[in-house]
């Protein structure tokens, strides 16, 4: 019985075939069919953000966990090789990433996306120059100005520059050339930032109020990039900038006055047996209330081991220059601590694909022990905690 079907009829038949099971529902009076919805908002409360960068041509994701117990509450997703940050109050997330429609060939575009954290929704997408750094994420690669009206985006083609984005207007105001410099460390006042340069100096860029022009000042030499290279990772301590070198030397810098000045260098592993060095990516995090720096460290560190996982996390009293405690927390490559009197420490492990919460005891020399964990799928090097 050969026949020729019309395309229209065929498609309708097929739909019927597919949906017949779906359209069937019960006649029983007591049963009320359930409804399918999307949750409107995440549960409230402080959050931990982990930026999972996709290097395989798929979406990067900012995973959002409860800071309480690391329950996974939601996520926002963007393009490839994301850089990520959040607003100070934790209500807004920013992701700079690349979309490559053919994954492995042809042109793409780079965008800065703004997300409402509560609803996990994209609220704005701003095209940026096709120069975004395709680089392992560090918090210094996407930063906001002090008043959070501008975003600074690290470029690398491999020529380096910084794209300045007016967040209210949703447009790029300029591309600041920062040749031989990398990393963005915003000033605490005004519109501007500093960057680490290839000769061990820093350059500070002070922008006009409209973000359209800049002036720059280069510092004296701050560190020796050959003998004592510093990580991109940084945190603030009482308004100063803290960096740490591969070899565990803490550089405390001031950026007031539009130029970086070196305040002190503190070797935290001096006198500790075992050739300890810093180990990880997000390796500088400072608890303000107690003046304690937490650093993932590994023994027998050597050329090339600086991004390996930790053997321990050290609690170092930066005010009294004293190593207080060495918690045996292995395989961490990123740490973040809250600023309160009772610090909460978070960290994650690439090896174990896990994010962890650690309870820190101020009465026990800031010893840290694990109290929660959650799996993280993918490649992450940065994390942040919101109020």
Partner 1 sequence: MAKMIDSFLGWMDAAAENRTRRIADGSGRRSFLQKAGWALVGGAVLPMLPYDNSNGQAFARGLGEPDELPEDCEYWRYCSLHGSLCSQCGGSVTQCPPGSTPSKVAWVGTCRNPNDDKDYLVSYNDCCGKGGSCGDGCSRQEGDRPGYRYGLASESSWCLANTDKGIHCTVAIVVGQAE
Nearest Cα to 40, choosing from 122, 123, 120? 120
Is residue 5 involved in binding a copy of itself (CB under 8 A)? yes
CA distance 357 to 70: 7
* Strand order through the sheet with 379-385: 72-77, 61-66, 47-53, 379-385
Residues in 70-99 that interact with partner 1 by CB under 8 A: 72-78, 80-81, 98
Scanning 27-35, 153-161, 287-295, 296-304 for contacts with a copy of itself by CB under 8 A, the matching segment is: 153-161
Query: N- to C-terminal Cα distance for the chain?
Result: 71
In sequence order, what DSSP letters do the residues of 169-200 get, joined into one string?
A: TTEEEEEEE-TTEEEEEE-SSSSEEEEEETTS
CA distance 243 to 60: 27
User: From the list 3, 29, 30, 303, which residue makes contact with a copy of itself (rule: CB under 8 A)?
Assistant: 3
Is residue 381 involved in binding a copy of itself (CB under 8 A)? no
CA distance 83 to 88: 17
CA distance 111 to 127: 4
Q: Work out how close the CB of 317 gets to partner 1 at its nearest, in angstroms, rounded to a whole number.
A: 27
User: From the list 7, 18, 168, 363, which residue makes contact with partner 1 (rule: CB under 8 A)?
Assistant: 18
What x/- string results for residues 333 through 372 when contact with partner 1 is judged by CB under 8 A? ----------------------------------------
Is residue 221 involved in binding partner 1 (CB under 8 A)? no
What is the bridge-based pairing of β-strands 367-375 and 201-207?
Answer: unpaired
CA distance 71 to 48: 10
Q: Work out how close the CB of 111 gets to partner 1 at its nearest, in angstroms, rounded to a whole number.
A: 14
What x/- string results for residues 131 through 150 when contact with partner 1 is judged by CB under 8 A? --xxxx-x------------
Query: What residues are paired with 53 via a beta bridge?
Result: 379
Is residue 38 involved in binding a copy of itself (CB under 8 A)? no
User: From the list 154, 178, 279, 386, which residue makes contact with a copy of itself (rule: CB under 8 A)?
Assistant: 178
Nearer to a copy of itself, 13 or 371 (CB): 13
Nearer to a copy of itself, 103 or 130 (CB): 103
Contact 200, 230 (CB under 8 A): no
Residues in 88-147 that interact with a copy of itself by CB under 8 A: 99, 101-104
What phi and psi values does residue 28 have, to the nearest 5 degrees? Answer: -60, 130
Considering CB distances under 5 to 8 angstroms, the limit depending on partner class, which of a copy of itself, partner 1, none binds residue 10? a copy of itself
Contact 110, 127 (CB under 8 A): yes
Considering CB distances under 5 to 8 angstroms, the limit depending on partner class, which of partner 1, a copy of itself, none binds residue 322? none
Considering CB distances under 5 to 8 angstroms, the limit depending on partner class, which of a copy of itself, partner 1, none binds residue 107? partner 1
Query: What residues are paired with 116 via a beta bridge?
Result: 92, 121
Residues in 67-86 that interact with a copy of itself by CB under 8 A: 77, 79
Is residue 24 involved in binding a copy of itself (CB under 8 A)? no
Residues that bind a copy of itself (CB under 8 A): 1-7, 9-19, 54, 56-59, 77, 79, 99, 101-104, 157-161, 175, 177-180, 198, 213-218, 258
């Amino acid at each position: 019985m050969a026949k020729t079907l019309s395309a229209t009829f065929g498609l309708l038949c097929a739909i019927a075939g597919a949906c017949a099971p779906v359209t069937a529902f019960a006649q029983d009076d007591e049963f009320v069919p359930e409804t399918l919805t999307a949750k409107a908002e995440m549960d409230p409360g402080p959050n931990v953000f982990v930026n999972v960068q996709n290097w395989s041509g798929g979406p990067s994701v900012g995973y959002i966990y409860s800071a309480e117990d690391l329950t996974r509450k939601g996520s926002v997703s963007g393009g490839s090789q994301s850089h990520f940050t959040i607003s100070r109050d934790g209500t807004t997330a920013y992701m700079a990433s690349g979309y490559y429609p053919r994954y492995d060939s042809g042109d793409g575009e780079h965008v800065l996306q703004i997300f409402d954290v509560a609803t996990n929704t994209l609220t704005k997408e701003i095209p940026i120059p096709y120069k975004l750094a395709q680089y392992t994420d560090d918090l210094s690669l996407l930063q906001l100005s002090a008043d959070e009206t501008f975003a600074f985006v690290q470029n690398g083609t491999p020529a380096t520059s910084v794209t300045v984005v007016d967040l209210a207007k949703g447009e790029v105001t300029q591309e600041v050339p920062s040749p031989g410099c990398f990393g963005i460390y915003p000033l605490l006042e005004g519109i501007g930032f500093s960057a680490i340069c290839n000769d061990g100096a820093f350059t500070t860029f002070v922008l006009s109020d409209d973000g359209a022009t800049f002036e720059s000042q280069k510092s004296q030499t701050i560190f020796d990039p050959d003998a004592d290279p510093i990580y991109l990772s940084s945190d603030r301590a009482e308004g100063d900038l803290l960096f740490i070198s591969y070899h565990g030397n803490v550089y405390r810098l001031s950026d007031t006055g539009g130029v970086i000045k070196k305040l002190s260098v503190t070797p935290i592993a001096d006198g500790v047996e075992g050739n300890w060095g810093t180990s990880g990516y997000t390796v500088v995090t400072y608890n303000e209330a107690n003046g304690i720096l937490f650093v993932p460290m590994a023994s027998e560190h050597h050329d090339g081991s600086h991004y390996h996982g930790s053997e321990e996390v050290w609690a170092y009293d930066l005010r009294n220059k004293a190593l207080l405690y060495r918690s045996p927390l292995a395989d961490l490559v990123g740490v973040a601590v809250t600023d309160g009197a009772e610090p909460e420490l978070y960290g994650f492990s690439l090896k174990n694909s896990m994010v962890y919460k650690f309870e820190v005891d101020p009465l026990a020399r800031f010893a840290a022990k694990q109290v929660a964990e959650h799996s993280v799928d993918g490649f992450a090097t940065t994390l942040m905690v919101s109020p």
